[in-house]
Amino acid sequence: MKIGDITALMGHIAPVIREFTEGLVDPIAARMAAVEKTVKDFRVPKDGEKGQDGKDGRDGVDGLGFDDLDVVHDGARGFTFRFARGDQVKEFPFTLPVVLDKGVYKAGDDYEPGDGVTYGGSFWIAQEKTAEKPDSGKGWRLAVKRGRDGKSAPVAASGAKEPIRVGVPAKAN
């Protein structure tokens, strides 16, 4: 492979990588902007200004901490942070926006957004919940297109070959 071939290959791969990462980064950037605006607009009380009284309780006893944390994974993209102590339970579920390779497409299976399958030699990523086949255009995005078949290689002549010795000087006959 020559440098020109590598440059051409990178020229084709770069837009796919850019599109994929923008789909991940844009929602996070929007959320960060909203948090920054909230922090910027937060009113800091002046010294001596009386705040609201907290709920009656003993320090450190009523709240939940890391000792009460259990992280539950659903086996795919979902996680739940579960804080529990006695009857007091708080759960915080979230889903990671990642592509999961589901192998070869199987007719009749349901696919979630972000599920990736191989179909017709290409790799497809579900954009919405779907049971349609990937090349139908409904709910799928082509991520990696099938390449051309390679040329047939010449058949080598059969026969015993001497082993190639690496690091051992050749013996004179």
Number of residues in the chain: 173
Is the whole-model pTM more than 0.85? no
The domain spans of the chain are: 1-41, 64-96, 99-146
CA dist 94 and 35 (Å) reads 18
CA dist 28 and 78 (Å) reads 17
Mean pLDDT per 10-residue section of the chain, whose length is 173 residues: 76 76 77 82 70 66 81 91 90 90 94 94 94 90 90 72 69 58
At 62 the pLDDT is 65
How would you label 89-118 residue by residue, b for 16+ Cβ within 10 Å and e otherwise? eeeeeeeeeebeebeebeeeeebeebbbbb
**Second CATH level (architecture) for the domain 99-146:** Ribbon (2.10)
Other Cβ atoms less than 10 A from the Cβ of 120: the count is: 12
CA dist 156 and 111 (Å) reads 46
At 34 the pLDDT is 83
DSSP designation for 86:
T
CA dist 56 and 89 (Å) reads 19
At 82 the pLDDT is 93
